[in-house]
Amino acid sequence: ALYGEDYDGQNFGKNIYESYNTRVEDYGNYVGQGLETTVLYNDISASYLINPAYNLNIALGYTNRSSTNEMETVNTSYIYIALRTSLRNFYYDF
């Protein structure tokens, strides 16, 4: 993904919590203005079905996020383990 990052205290619109009154320009704004930043998000996971009756799964995964622009490169990685289920609603009274 490509987006415009705020920099040097200027408000180009990335941070939605910044005041609207601190924007850089009133007119001529466009999507992606600011410091051109590229974000790559990668995720890989493997899961095992523990109980088919409840669709109970256990998963192990790895996620990596990289944000790159002219000023800096930020890499974030983590390994996770998850226990999840997908319960169904079997009501057909419509």
Query: Tens of pLDDT along 51-85?
Result: 988 889 999 999 999 999 999 999 999 999 999 99
Q: What is the C-alpha separation between 22 and 12, in angstroms, rounded?
A: 9
**Binning pLDDT at 50, 70 and 90, where does residue 19 land?**
confident
Q: Quote the CA–CA distance of 49 and 59 in Å, as a whole number.
A: 9
Single-letter amino acid, residue 70:
E
Half-sphere exposure of 67 (CA within 13 A, CB side): 10
Give the pTM: 0.69
Q: Closest Cα partner for 41 from 59, 62, 60, 63? A: 63
Q: What is the Cβ-side half-sphere exposure of residue 60, based on CA atoms within 13 angstroms?
A: 1
> What distance in Å separates the CA atoms of residue 6 and residue 21, rounded to the nearest whole number?
15
